[in-house]
């Protein structure tokens, strides 16, 4: 999937991004979890928690192009995006339970 996405992205950046955005890890993880422990309540909790962890990862995909377009190199932009994601993950795990989120 990674090779397909990067190959397509060379010619069609948007289509390569679509392939890269597929939630393959999440789907495979849910299948594996279901096969190991077919519990609907546990699966529902897992899927919902996954949703809440996807949201703080999204700003990374806005920060990286912003930094690249403003002269920051690829590696520093990538590190900045990853650091932002880690900080937002920490905020979600700290704030989420205060609003009833089971993470």
pLDDT at 102: 80
pTM of the model: 0.84
What's the pLDDT at 7? 92
Percent of the chain whose pLDDT exceeds 90: 83
HSE-CB of 65 using CA atoms within 13 angstroms: 5
**Residue at token pair 């789907």:** 27
Q: Residue 79 corresponds to which tokens in the numbers above?
A: 């590190």
For 40-66, the pLDDT digits (tens) are: 999 999 999 999 999 999 999 999 999
């Amino acid at each position: 999937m990674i090779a397909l996405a990067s190959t397509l992205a060379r010619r069609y950046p948007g289509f390569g991004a679509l392939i890269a955005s597929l939630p393959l890890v999440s789907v495979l993880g849910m299948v594996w979890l279901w096969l190991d422990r077919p519990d609907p309540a546990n699966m529902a909790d897992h899927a919902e928690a996954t949703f809440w962890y996807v949201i703080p990862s999204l700003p990374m995909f806005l920060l990286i192009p912003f930094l690249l377009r403003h002269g920051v190199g690829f590696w520093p932009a990538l590190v900045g995006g990853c650091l932002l994601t880690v900080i937002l993950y920490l905020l979600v795990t700290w704030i989420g339970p205060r609003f009833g989120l089971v993470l």
